[in-house]
Amino acid sequence: MALTFTVLDGRHHDRASFVCGVAALDDYLRQRAGQHQRDGIATTHVLIDDAQPARILGYCALSAAQLHLHELREEDRKRLPAYPVPAMRVGRLAVSRSETGKGYGQLLLGHAVNLALSVRKTMGVRVLVVDAKDAQVAVFYEGFGFRYTANAALTLYLPISGVGP
Ligand SMILES: CC(C)(COP(=O)(O)OP(=O)(O)OC[C@H]1O[C@@H](n2cnc3c(N)ncnc32)[C@H](O)[C@@H]1OP(=O)(O)O)[C@@H](O)C(=O)NCCC(=O)NCCS
């Protein structure tokens, strides 16, 4: 089994069969992800098994974003300039209901971090931002080091560590 990430392509990926159990996230993939991608609103990355390349195991939708400096914890504000903090937003993230518990959610988050590090070679990205759909999912993100923003209960951020020369 060789897992790979690729950008959503409606001609090759079977969006209709994807079911994660949260209707809004299933509907997004089916009805809006393609349009958002064409319009530059969000780019959807899908996790697939090379042996079944049409089947979507999980997805995340990424966009440029920003946080206000005061939304970060005090210790994360150190040395930052006094203007909005450049961010990458994981707007949506879901794993096929039949595939949960296999580490795919973790893989999707890792992929987003890797992409943020890659983008950072071109433009600044200081944090990854997520909007958890409820308090239980917020715990999922917390498990990977995400921290709650100061003023939005279900918005969390992950500082991206520096790399390179
Ligand atoms: C939440 C979701 C993405 C997790 O995906 P997954 O592939 O099952 O997660 P993983 O197997 O990578 O689990 C990684 C860790 O998170 C934990 N975890 C998984 N789902 C969790 C949840 N709902 N709440 C809290 N922790 C959770 C796992 O126990 C695991 O921890 P461990 O390594 O200590 O055992 C998936 O269940 C899903 O798509 N749910 C429906 C859609 C949804 O809620 N998306 C989030 C929208 S903000």
Assign residue 132 the CATH number of its domain.
3.40.630.30
Find all residues with CB under 8 Å of 120, minimum gap 6, and list them. Answer: 160, 163
Ordered strands of the 155-159 beta sheet: 3-7, 43-49, 58-67, 85-95, 127-131, 155-159, 147-148
Q: Considering 28, 83, 104, 141, which one is annotated as catalytic?
A: 141
Instruction: Give the number of domains in the chain.
Output: 1
pLDDT of residue 64: 98
Residue nearest atom 39 in ligand 1 by C-alpha distance: 94
Q: Is 157 a catalytic residue?
A: no
Q: Is 48 a member of any domain? A: yes
One-letter amino acid of 35: Q
Tell me which residue range forms the domain holding 46: 3-159
pLDDT of residue 162: 67
Q: Ligand 1 centre from 101 Cα, in Å?
A: 7
pLDDT of residue 163: 59
Q: Is 91 a member of any domain? A: yes
Q: Tokens at residue 129, please?
A: 């931002």
CA 158 to chain CA centroid, nearest Å: 11
Low-confidence residues of the chain: pLDDT under 50: none
* Parallel/antiparallel/unpaired status of strands 3-7 and 43-49: antiparallel
Ligand 1 proximal residues by C-beta, below 6 Å: 20-22, 25, 93-95, 100-106, 132-133, 136-137, 139-140, 143
Q: Is 111 a member of any domain? A: yes
